[in-house]
Amino acid sequence: METGRLGTTPEGQKDKDARMNATHSTADGELVGFRIPMARPRWTFILLGINIAVFLAMTVYGALNGLGLNGSQDFRVLLAFGAMQNELIAQGDYHRLLTSMFLHIGLIHLAFNSYALFIVGQDVERLYGSARFLLIYFLSGLGGSLASFVFGAGGISAGASGAIFGLFGASIAYFYLHRETFGPHRQPDQPQPGSRPLPACADLERVDKTTR
């Protein structure tokens, strides 16, 4: 049985693109394998690096100004680096809607957001490609900043939570929109009535999704 494809990749790009396998049950109960081209994540790690670099810069700035290692939690340092503050935004500091996405208040805040970005960011960038991944990330982050500006209490706020929630939403949307491709919900060990497994000779290639 031939393996169906959702997309093709030029021969010269095979070593640059990761792939994900899926199966789909046709109308007559036959299982068809698919190989889905997936982009190699890069911007996920660039964004992680930026967040960590900004946090270290805030910590060093605070230490040089007598705040010890708590610079990222001091309101003066946060404002100097571009944290959100509604009054300042209303006065024209619109750049804070964007710059606040790269700031984190304390190490725990940075650790949680970095872990979430590392996990979901790679998957979304693989599925959507780098350009759309960045579009989703920044539009979601700006949307979160605007919501904080409109509905917030007016204090200082910062973080990439809005952008990360947007990535989670994009991941859910992808699999929902392609639910027919991936087949109905069922347990792996409980095939649909009338379906038969792929023969051994038609097994799909094993995909190495390890980040390089």
pLDDT digits (tens, 9 = 90+) for 140-189: 999 999 999 998 877 899 999 999 999 999 999 999 988 877 665 544 44
Residues 114 and 17 in one domain: no
pLDDT digits (tens, 9 = 90+) for 43-84: 999 999 999 999 999 999 999 998 888 899 999 999 999 999
Pseudo-torsion of CA 115, 117, 119, 125, nearest 10°? Answer: -160
Residues 30 and 113 in one domain: no
Residue 135 has pLDDT above 90, yes or no: yes
- pLDDT of 80 reads 94
- pLDDT of 40 reads 85
- pLDDT of 154 reads 76
Average pLDDT over residues 83-104: 95
Residues 85 and 145 in one domain: yes
Q: How far is CA 88 from CA 24, 58, 203, in A?
A: 53, 20, 60
Rounded CA gap, 64 and 69, in Å? 10
- pLDDT of 179 reads 81
- Helix runs in 23-160, H state only: 43-64, 75-81, 86-90, 96-99, 107-128, 130-151
- pLDDT of 34 reads 53
Q: Into how many domains does the chain fold?
A: 2
- pLDDT of 183 reads 61
CA angle 176, 178, 179 (to 5 degrees): 65
Residues 22 and 51 in one domain: no
Residue 8 has pLDDT above 80, yes or no: no
Residue 152, domain extent: 43-176
Q: Which of 173, 48, 42 is nearest to 112 (CA)?
A: 48
Residues 48 and 121 in one domain: yes
Decide: pTM greater than 0.85: no
Does residue 100 belong to any structural domain of this protein?
yes
- pLDDT of 132 reads 95
Q: How far is CA 64 from CA 55, 77, 78, 100, 104, in A?
A: 14, 11, 15, 22, 19
Residues 53 and 149 in one domain: yes
Residues 98 and 138 in one domain: yes
Residues 185 and 172 in one domain: no
Residues 83 and 166 in one domain: yes
Residue 21, strand partner residues: 35
Rounded CA gap, 137 and 123, in Å? 13
Q: How far is CA 89 from CA 103, 120, 147, 161, in A?
A: 16, 30, 13, 19
Rounded CA gap, 147 and 43, in Å? 25
Q: How many residues does the chain have?
A: 212
Does residue 212 belong to any structural domain of this protein?
no
Does residue 1 belong to any structural domain of this protein?
no
